Amino acid sequence: MTKKIFFCVLVCFLSLANYAQKCVYTFKGTVTDYHDGTPIFGAAILIKNLNKYTTSDFEGKFKITNLCKGELTLIISHISCETKEVSIDLKDNLSKDFFLEHHIESLNEINVTAGLNVKSKTLQTSVLKVDKIDTYSNLNLGDALKEIAGVSSINTGSTIVKPIINGLHSSRVIVMANGVRLQDQEWGIEHAPNIDINTAEKITVVKGANSLEFGGDAIGGVIITEPSKVILKDSLYGKTIVSGQTNGRGFSFHSSISKSTKKGWYVNAKSTLKRFGDFETPDYVLTNTGLNSKAFSIQTGLKKFESGFNLYYTYIHNEIGILRASHLGNIEDLVNAINTPKPLVINDFSYEINAPRQDITHQLVKADYYKRFKKLGKLTIQYDFQDNQRFEFDVRIGDDRNKPAIDLNLTSHSIKTSFEFDAKSDQTYKVGVLGAYQNNFANPNTGVRRLIPDFNKYDVGIFTIGNFVLNDKTTVDVGLRYDYNSFNAKKFYLKSRWNERNYDAEFNDLIIGDFNTQWLVNPKFDYHNVSTSAGISYQLNEENAVLFNYALSNRAPNPSELFSDGLHHSAARIELGDLRIQQETSNRFATSYNFKNDNTAVLVELFFNHINNFIYIEPNGTEQTIRGAFPVWAYKKTTANLFGIDVSFEQQINNQFLFNNKSSFIRGKDLDNNRDLIDIPAARTVNEISFKKEKWHHFNANLASEFVFKQNLFPNNNFETYIPTTDTNVLVDVSSTPESYHLLNFNADATFKLSKKTKLTIGINVTNIMNTNYREYLNRLRYFADDLGRNYVLQLKFNY
């Protein structure tokens, strides 16, 4: 009986205790947009450990009642939003605000480039995506970009390829590599961008100087390479591409691996190897044209919506052979080379890379941090360092045979910060500041006169950009930028050259030392550059749209244009800069028409570019040296007009067949001398028919027909020279352009599923199917040899 009474008392006590701790607390809050603070309707709020659930109302408010004290885990989600998981310690009634990123298009653009993507609708832009980029894994950036109408290249053989956008190249084209402006002595025509195309998941080309965020001197345009996006989940994936080709008898190997976590941590690494021997024309071997390339990159960081950081390092080393027959001992060799249909030097195929050759190593380090502020925008801070070591080896004898004729080391430091005000979806603003320092060291112990001197360069820039959505059909962009550039150089001039250039009348105050036959001078130049842009796009209806933009840009002369003075051995010519050259001023007008429906797409882009103080280089005679007589190429300036049209047309014939055409025409006029400009690309058109069959292991096949017209618009730069061996004056024809040519190219691929997570894509590519003999006007080696003959490429791509 006593036990029963005790048990009843205990039950009553426990019941009272349970009543005393009854769950009577309330948790409420609001869910709003991180950008502009507007309420989010229909957000799901789940208390994970209690399985309690509710949704937000039209004001973004929610309330959950009858909660107990203790730790609660909340999961807050909404369609098009990044799901957020938070923990709270409930001790009393509690109210809390939550912010979600409600613009999925913004979320998708958050990647390791810290918002580098070009989003403007008023720019003339074109994009290459990863599938197309992968087909060029064994080639380089310049080759891939020729897929875009209006983009061509200026080459030194087949492996040194510089992109040209609407007729402009080198310092007039900015290359952005993973958010960093590439600094690799881009002023040289025979200096290709030191970038591994396999590091890019997406390449965007902006035609014209409208993207002021990247620089005000991009008179030609901007090339933006971006890596793959970070996946916010626990994942491990990779890709390997192996290519082998017949022309050059070489291979290319690329592999990448990426690891990410749902908390935002990630790391990915990529490596590329390329090895090719002598390339071949349809009729002969191009002696000493091999390539040996190694590249490696690694990046890591933490990617969250509200904040994050990225660390990036890349290394690339290129050893490039220069056609042996292009190395000239004197002007008589040049005359003979031009007048002989085959190169003067043809040896058996070899993998050896001898002089003349280039040996370039480029390293880049980048660190950036970003932070988002509620109802305001995003702050980004970035520092980058680049080191570019360039050796150019001439054919030499004796103890100097292994000594480079050019030894340049260029180091660059840059720090920049920007803030994007994006609280309002219909208008965004971005402001930024840049500071940069660059040092070029020209090793004096090469045994020859230094072509480019030692110099320090300082840059400061500030910009602001605004994007406005006026209505459903109209978007307006405006931008303004100021740049300050300063050169401080030290250079030796032969007194005879100093007087010949009439520098004694204008620049004697620069002389700081007298060394017998030479002056030591200290040129100091400052440039103040203002750039601006404005654009408008208008959607006529669902199928038709037009855009118009205008850009004013100023570009300071580069070191080569100012200071070149001597024999450029790998180019076999004497190059002369001009201290009097001032900055270029470009006024570019562009308009585009875009039509697109379910089966047809048409894009027509027109531009007109008026450039004051346009800087160019052209031959103007010969000069005798201890090595013999060489042609002299001098930098000059003029007033120039460039105008052209790019057309892209795509027609879906049926579910399997697609036809497209890309055509470009450009003309350049030298107004001061009433003649055509030198080095303007010839008109070209590419017609392509594509076949796709998904059921055949995603089979794709393309046949492309490329026709390049003869460039009939060029200046007459021919000159006469004296040939001692024959005691005659001979006309040196450096102006006449090659004939038009037609090439057929074919590629096909199919994808096979090897396992649940592994796919194999097998591709075959054949270029110059008809093995056509041709010479490209903008290949600097056209004087000495034909371009490449037929080439078979087999590619295996593993995704895992």
pLDDT digits (tens, 9 = 90+) for 463-494: 999 999 999 899 999 999 999 999 999 999 99
Q: Of 99 and 742, which is predicted with more confidence?
A: 742
Is residue 18's pLDDT more than 60?
Answer: no
Domain with CATH 2.40.170.20 in the chain: 142-799
Q: If you average pLDDT over residues 450-455, what whole number do you get?
A: 92
DSSP label of 15: H
- Strand, coil or helix: 150: coil
pLDDT for res 118? 55
Question: What confidence tens digit (pLDDT) does each residue in 576-606 have?
Answer: 999 999 999 999 999 999 999 999 999 999 9
Classify domain 22-100 at the CATH topology level: Immunoglobulin-like (2.60.40)
Q: Which of 10-14, 81-85, 379-383, 713-717 has the lowest mean pLDDT?
A: 10-14
The DSSP H or E segment spanning 563 is helix 559-563
pLDDT for res 59? 79
What superfamily in CATH does domain 142-799 come from?
A: TonB-dependent receptor, beta-barrel domain (2.40.170.20)
Burial of 71 (0-12, 13-18, 19+ CB in 10 A): exposed
Band (115; pLDDT cuts 50, 70, 90): very low
C-alpha dist (Å) from residue 536 to 123, 479, 530, 548: 9, 12, 21, 6
Long-range contacts of 84-92 (CB under 8 A, 24+ apart): 85/48, 88/27, 90/25, 90/27, 92/25
pLDDT for res 13? 45
Is 442 in contact with 566 (CB distance < 8 Å)?
no
Q: Of 186 and 459, which is predicted with more confidence?
A: 459
Question: What confidence tens digit (pLDDT) does each residue in 388-409 have?
Answer: 999 999 888 877 788 998 999 9
Is residue 411's pLDDT more than 80?
Answer: yes
**Residue 227 and residue 113: Cα distance in Å, rounded?**
8
Is 46 in contact with 56 (CB distance < 8 Å)?
no
Domain with CATH 2.60.40.10 in the chain: 22-100
Long-range contacts of 471-476 (CB under 8 A, 24+ apart): 472/539, 473/538, 473/539, 473/540, 474/536, 474/537, 474/538, 474/539, 475/120, 475/121, 475/122, 475/536, 475/537, 476/122, 476/534, 476/535, 476/536
Is residue 51's pLDDT more than 90?
Answer: no
pLDDT for res 108? 38
Band (36; pLDDT cuts 50, 70, 90): low
Band (21; pLDDT cuts 50, 70, 90): low
**Residue 545 and residue 539: Cα distance in Å, rounded?**
4
Band (549; pLDDT cuts 50, 70, 90): very high
For the chain, give the mean pLDDT: 89
pTM of the model: 0.87
- Strand, coil or helix: 496: helix
pLDDT for res 472? 87
Band (49; pLDDT cuts 50, 70, 90): confident
C-alpha dist (Å) from residue 740 to 282, 722, 770: 17, 32, 15
As beta bridge partners, residue 151 has 165
Is residue 64's pLDDT more than 50?
Answer: yes
